[in-house]
Amino acid sequence: MQDLSSAAPALTILSEEETMFRDAVREFAATEVRPHVHDMDEAAQFRLDLIPKFFELGLMGIEVPEEYGGSGGSIFMAVLAIEELARVDASAAIYVDVHNTLVNNAILRWAGSEQKARYFPRLTSGLLGAFALSEPGSGSDAFALATRAERRGNDWALTGRKFWITNGAEAGLFIIFANTDPSKGYKGITAYLVERDFPGFSIGKKENKLGIRASSTTELILEECIVPEENVLGPVGQGYKISIETLNEGRIGIGAQMIGVASGALEAATAYVKERRQFGKAIAEFQAVQFQLAQMATDLEAARLMVYNVARLKDSGQPFAQQAAMAKLFSSQVADRITSSCLELFGGYGYSKEYPAEKYYRDAKIGTIYEGTSNMQLQTIAKGLLK
């Protein structure tokens, strides 16, 4: 298997600070994550000793203000971190992605000062977060929630099940959405900050997945889970707004994952075609192979620029929801195509776990599904065009 630790994606204009940060994450991914990627994928188990290292490197509080223990950085910095990790292992990237773009982001925008002071110092130093919206009957129709929240004095009792929850096996804090008044439809949905040891909360089945296998995806079980009033996130009945606006930023993170996965696959294929010999020469010398690589590199750079652009829009305070949908849609399509083509360039070896191509291919597929399917992104884009 090739050593790709020195491979680098195409150059894009970055500040000196951004370049130094990207390079630090790249080195970390190459030295700390890459040696374990195959074994973690085979075991469908992430190495728990790597998660504290994410915190030590400052990857788990990128946008959190320094006063709360964060870096006071930007979503663009988070994109760089997610991309670099995904070049090596998409499972590693998703831990950082969900924690930053969904959990920290939602608390940063919607939590009161007391909640921020209570949770951010922990979320930036060792407490992993998860975002729990999906349910068995609530996927693309995100607001058909069956989970209920009933007020009981100064507490709330949550009852229901959540499915497909990323980071579920390891997280200590969950943002959980439940409906306080089903008669109001989506206007009854409310967000809650639920700690792992709250009474009535438990972790259910862990999914056995096609890709991102080392990343934990679990069921959450709420059996009259008691949540104190001070753990309501945002106003009661505003959960729908919190989830929509949080997922808009989350899609930037998925875009970063996908360009990272595509970049890793292309680097692996480029190294392989220089080594693989047929008809007396390296297959990299065949024009057909060269043209395939050129087209993939062009598609990847276009996707990268879309993801970088929407991150810059968000950081500058500009509207970005439509561009986030476009970036998520296109980058997932590009990752799907590139990883498939790269696998084919490996020939029979591409189908073997001895080489990295098949893992990149499996890891790319989720990009068209989670945090809004491609059809839902098209719907968002179309609404923006016709508004």
The residues that are catalytic are 371
Please, is 359 exposed, middle or buried when counting C-beta atoms within 10 Å of its C-beta (0-12, 13-18, 19+)? Answer: buried
**Two tokens, residue 151:** 């007020």
> How far does Cα 301 stand from its chain's mean position?
20
The number of beta carbons lying within 10 Å of the beta carbon of residue 60 is 28
Cβ 307 vs Cβ 331: under 8 Å? yes
96 phi/psi in degrees, rounded to 5 = -70, -40
Q: Measured between alpha carbons, how far is 97 from 139 in angstroms, rounded to an integer?
A: 20
- Please measure the distance between the N-terminal and C-terminal CA atoms of the chain and give it in whole angstroms: 51
Task: Write the secondary structure of 317-361 as one string of H (helix), E (strand) and C (coil).
Answer: CCCCHHHHHHHHHHHHHHHHHHHHHHHHHCHHHHHCCCCCHHHHH
Q: Which residues of 72-107 are buried (b: 16+ CB within 10 A; e: fewer)?
A: ebbbbbbbbbbbbbbbbbbbbbbbbbbbbbbbbbbb
